[in-house]
Amino acid sequence: MIKVFALPDLGEGLTESEIVAWLVAPGDEVTLNQHIADVETAKAVVELPSPFAGVVRVLHQPAGVVVHVGEPIVSFDIGGSAEPGSAEPGSALPADADADVQADAPAPAEQREANLVGYGPAVERSGHPQRRARSGGAALAAETRPTDPVAAVSAGERPRSTPPVRALARDLGIDLATVTGTGRDGLITRDDVRAHSTQSVPATAPHGAAEPSGVPPTASATPASTSIGPAAAVAGLDAAARETRSPIKSLRKLTAAAMVQSAFTAPHVTEFLTIDVTPTVELLDSLRADRNFTDAGIGILAVVAKALCLAVGRTPSVNTRWDEPAGEIVQFNYVNLGIAAATPRGLLVPNIVDAERLDLRGLADALAELTTAARAGTTTPAALSGGTITITNIGVFGIDAGTPIINPGEAAILAMGAIRSQPWEYRGQVALRKVLTLSLSFDHRLVDGEQGSRFLADIGTILANPARVLTMI
Amino acid sequence: MIDSSPQPVQLLSLDGERMPRPDFDPWVADLDGPALLALYRDMVVVRRIDTEATALQRQGELGLWPPLLGQEAAQVGSARALRDDDFVFPSYRENAVAYCRGVEVTDIVKVWRGNAQSGWDPYTVNVATPAIIIGAQTLHATGWALGAVRDEVDSVAITYFGDGATSQGDVHEAMVFAASFQAPVVFFCQNNHWAISEPVGVQAHRNIADRAPGFGIPSLRIDGNDVLAVMAATRIALDRARTGGGPTFIEAVTYRMGPHTTADDPTRYRDPAELAEWKTRDPLLRLHRLLTRLGEITPEVEAATQAQADAAAAELRAGCIGMPDPEPLSVFDHVYATPNATLERQRTDYAGYLTSFGSSDQPGEGR
């Protein structure tokens, strides 16, 4: 006997969730409550316990897909031919074909606002949830609209009707999206549903019982649901051929929102400075040779971080925040140094708290810790908030310079390029030197050209001649 | 946070060693091996029920569930100290207390399945149905206790709430009235360290137990993961209340090892190291170690306990999934104790509305 499991509302009032990973495959035998998948909602990543003991037959949704509440995600063969006892688990739909019908029925949850308890990402709620192309409901709506403009309602909205009419439609196995409303403002009436029902019944050859008040399973024979299969299959094929569409979600969505906010509110100025960092490279070599520092793993990024912290002390306006609602400029008397990190999940900018208090070894340790955590996905929420200024290391990708976008809520971001051996003026001659380009973007509301330039020049001075630090502290 | 009072009272070390404490020892002197084993069974069973309910929520069978994982000793130890005629006013997390008082496991999840407005008849088990409004139940408890004085009975009210609730005005009002009238009520605060995502230190710069003396209410600060300390403290408080000594405040220092509810993700705000540390203070582990020392734990006992827990989980699952949907008109039941004309009119109107669907296709079926 096959049991279909539909995605439940895993929080309070959630309409969709992402299947992060399946831990089982078709053919696997599972026990009751066995952890079968990880599912991410707007609130949490949760472990999904198997609702049945049996054999996994079908995974209806691949990992990485955002699924609406009520859509089938997995089917189980639980053995036997009939349900022991009469009780039908509410979320378990009777059979595959019915599952499609149930998923099409306008779930009340789709209209509900997410009701977050205590906290939650506001970003998730902006914009209407996107319905995937292969979902039955969307396919139907797309099919219906061009041929039947009267029935057209704005995309994603439930057709207008009243609860008794919806109940009637459900009992008759009719998708209201396929019904033309003749009432006021396109309201679907009881008569519309009945009229639609008499139209569609003759068109259906294998409709056994003439009684239209049959229970939902007869709905599997209506034209509405039979048309879903092929349409969905064709859509899947087409998509694979030329282009791939993936939902905008999770970190991509958050990154996009942050970048748009920054790029279109903060007037960016970007300056470049190319310097001979051979002395810094020699300093790093000498540190590596020193037994006190051999294991410290101090690299160029740590030196740049240290130089930045020292330069902030001389030009505090680069370490500020524009607080528009308060009408104030917030001057940070500490440096929470953000480090842009490419992780398997996307861009994260964790920060080193009070970086200005750390010495070079301390910074190197903090950097190592932070990148390890970012790559392992264990970065804590605390580490991702409260940054005051950011470094992005584009040199690791072999890039020299760019115009970085400021992390929202900060005043400046420094991009460090790759160190290259280049012909360079050295003591009146051309020599092969280690050369590096720094790119600094700053928010011109907070930082004028003078301050921005001095700040960048200070960092350059330290890297070009580390001993000059003595003149700055 | 300033640690203004001594360490919480502990009768059981992390290794399950009995620690002498002259002022508390007499109150648990009667607990022999079998009695301790019964407490252990309760804790294993309620943890199993709690885990099953969490799974049922993930499977779409419950709308929400507030796990009590980690708070078993605080709830079982206090509930088992009560007399049948005492009355419990719980928050929404005291499902172990409800279990100990004899609430059917299916009734415990009724509300969370959206199947009933409240899960059980409070007067059959002397447990009020869970208060979702934070701290409101403390006022009910004080009121009930004032009634007990007027009835000239020696029954005691006990009310359960969390560390977060102590920031609510209701709790303070309840304590003021309880102190003013020396009401026989026990304020049992489970300080589980987290008010959803707020750590306790944010709202309590001193220990929560220190607040009660300001109201004229004596307080005890105990290790809430030590079932013996919990039971002793509750018995002390109950005895004081029964003999005219008025209210007592107990702060049971425990830890919410799971999320606030199934809609919460504690990894977003909590250091994993903190959870790891509290796992070493697991209340079940500690009692298990004591029972092992006492020679009460045998393979047969372990198997029987596990079987009892699994049976309770199976009963919960079957009862939850097989729960019949309520009759639509039952929404009007239990609203008022006495007949009410407005409500009667609404019931009649609604019945008329329901018949407009015809007799065969009632809208209430299915979900």
Determine the Cα–Cα distance for residues B249 and B10; give it in Å rounded to an integer: 17
pLDDT at B6 (0 to 100)? 66
Choice among A251-255, A306-310, A388-392, B125-129 with the minimum mean pLDDT: A251-255
Do B260 and B351 fall within a single domain? no
pLDDT class for A175, splitting at 50, 70, 90? confident
Determine the Cα–Cα distance for residues A335 and A151; give it in Å rounded to an integer: 59
CA distance A123 to chain B (A): 16
pLDDT at B359 (0 to 100)? 57
DSSP one-letter code for B18: B
Do B356 and B312 fall within a single domain? no
Which residue is it, tokens 């008397």? A333
Residues of B assigned a catalytic role: 256, 260, 269
Mean pLDDT score of chain B = 93
DSSP one-letter code for B162: E
Say if the Cβ atoms of A9 and B63 lie within 8 Å. yes
Q: Is B114 on the interface with A (CB under 8 A)?
A: no
What are the structure tokens assigned to B363, written together? 């809208």
* Domain A251-471, CATH: 3.30.559.10
Non-local (6+) Cβ contacts of B140 within 8 A are: B89, B128, B131, B159
Choice among A112-121, A266-275, B84-93 with the minimum mean pLDDT: A112-121
Determine the Cα–Cα distance for residues B249 and B335; give it in Å rounded to an integer: 33
Crossing angle of the two packed helices B227-242 and B33-58, in degrees rounded to 10: 100
Helix (H, G, I), strand (E, B) or coil at A324: coil
Q: List CB contacts (< 8 A) between A54 and chain B.
A: none
CA distance B189 to chain A (A): 21
CA distance B98 to chain A (A): 24
Pairing of strands A16-22, A35-40: antiparallel
Count how many domains chain B has. 2
pLDDT at A384 (0 to 100)? 81
pLDDT class for B75, splitting at 50, 70, 90? very high
DSSP one-letter code for A327: T
Neighbours of B59 (CB within 10 A): 25
pLDDT of B158 strictly over 90: yes
Choice among A206-210, A351-355, B221-225, B242-246 with the minimum mean pLDDT: A206-210
Q: Residue B11 domain-assigned?
A: no
Do B29 and B44 fall within a single domain? yes
pLDDT of A254 strictly over 70: yes
* Domain residue spans of chain A: 1-129, 130-247, 251-471
Determine the Cα–Cα distance for residues A436 and B302; give it in Å rounded to an integer: 68
Nearest to B61 among A44, A91, A168 (CB): A91
Determine the Cα–Cα distance for residues B183 and B245; give it in Å rounded to an integer: 8
Determine the Cα–Cα distance for residues A391 and A349; give it in Å rounded to an integer: 9
CATH architecture type of domain A1-129? Beta Barrel (2.40)
Do B304 and B333 fall within a single domain? no
Do B353 and B290 fall within a single domain? no
Q: List CB contacts (< 8 A) between B359 and chain A.
A: none
Identify the residue with better confidence: A261 or A240.
Answer: A261
Pairing of strands B157-162, B87-89: parallel
Q: Which residues pair with A54 in a beta bridge?
A: A30
Q: Residue B16 domain-assigned?
A: no
Q: Residue B9 domain-assigned?
A: no
Tell me if B285 sits within 8 A of B22, measured CB to CB: no
Q: What is the arithmetic mean of pLDDT over A317-331?
A: 93
Per-residue model confidence as pLDDT tens digits over A41-59: 877 788 899 999 999 999 9
Nearest to A381 among B55, B268, B361 (CB): B268
CA distance A311 to chain B (A): 33
Nearest to B60 among A12, A91, A119 (CB): A91
Residue in B112, B113, B265 to test binding to A, most A beta-carbons within 10 Å: B265
pLDDT at A84 (0 to 100)? 45
Which residue is it, tokens 């969505």? A253
Residue B73: in which H helix or E strand, if any?
Answer: helix B72-79
Residue in A3, A9, A33 to test binding to B, most B beta-carbons within 10 Å: A33
Residue B159: in which H helix or E strand, if any?
Answer: strand B157-162
Do B254 and B357 fall within a single domain? no
Nearest CA-CA partner of B60 in A446, A209, A73: A73
- Backbone φ, ψ for residue A333 (5° rounding): -95, 25
Q: What is the arithmetic mean of pLDDT over B130-148?
A: 97
Determine the Cα–Cα distance for residues B157 and B141; give it in Å rounded to an integer: 6
pLDDT class for A81, splitting at 50, 70, 90? low
Do B238 and B274 fall within a single domain? yes
pLDDT at B348 (0 to 100)? 94
Mean pLDDT score of chain A = 78
Say if the Cβ atoms of B58 and A48 lie within 8 Å. yes
Residue where a domain stops, chosen among B286, B302, B321: B321
CATH number at residue B113: 3.40.50.970
pLDDT of A374 strictly over 70: yes
Determine the Cα–Cα distance for residues A160 and B340; give it in Å rounded to an integer: 36
DSSP secondary structure letters along A328-364: EEEEPSS--EEEEEEETTEEE--EETTGGG--HHHHH
Q: What is the arithmetic mean of pLDDT over B326-351?
A: 91
Q: What is the arithmetic mean of pLDDT over A359-384?
A: 86
pLDDT at A90 (0 to 100)? 40
Do B266 and B341 fall within a single domain? no
Q: Residue B1 domain-assigned?
A: no
pLDDT of A215 strictly over 50: no
Q: Residue B17 domain-assigned?
A: no
Say if the Cβ atoms of A167 and B268 lie within 8 Å. no
Nearest to A44 among B61, B264, B361 (CB): B264
CA distance B313 to chain A (A): 11
pLDDT of B112 strictly over 80: yes
Do B193 and B64 fall within a single domain? yes
Q: What is the arithmetic mean of pLDDT over A182-194?
A: 83
Say if the Cβ atoms of A46 and B363 lie within 8 Å. no
Distance set, CA B4 to CA A471, B163, B165, B191, B207 (Å): 48, 17, 21, 16, 7
pLDDT at A200 (0 to 100)? 60
DSSP one-letter code for A77: E
Active site residue A60: no
CA dihedral A166, A172, A175, A180 (to 10 degrees): -80
Structural domain range at position B81: 25-321
Q: What is the arithmetic mean of pLDDT over A357-366?
A: 93
Non-local (6+) Cβ contacts of B26 within 8 A are: none
pLDDT at A52 (0 to 100)? 94
Do B189 and B135 fall within a single domain? yes
Q: Residue B7 domain-assigned?
A: no
Q: List CB contacts (< 8 A) between A380 and chain B.
A: 271
What is the number of alpha carbons within 13 Å of residue A113 lying toward its C-beta? 6
pLDDT of A198 strictly over 80: no
Q: Residue B15 domain-assigned?
A: no
Distance set, CA A325 to CA A131, A318, A329 (Å): 35, 20, 11
pLDDT of A206 strictly over 60: no
Choice among B136-145, B208-217, B324-333 with the minimum mean pLDDT: B324-333
Do B90 and B215 fall within a single domain? yes
- Percent of chain A past pLDDT 90, that is, above it, reads 45
Non-local (6+) Cβ contacts of A288 within 8 A are: A294, A298
pLDDT at A241 (0 to 100)? 61
Q: List CB contacts (< 8 A) between A33 and chain B.
A: 52, 55
Determine the Cα–Cα distance for residues A224 and A199; give it in Å rounded to an integer: 12
pLDDT class for A137, splitting at 50, 70, 90? very low
Per-residue model confidence as pLDDT tens digits over A442-455: 999 999 999 999 99
- Backbone φ, ψ for residue A305 (5° rounding): -60, -45
Do B71 and B95 fall within a single domain? yes
Pairing of strands B219-223, B248-253: parallel
Whole-model pTM above 0.90? no
Q: List CB contacts (< 8 A) between B269 and chain A.
A: 119, 381
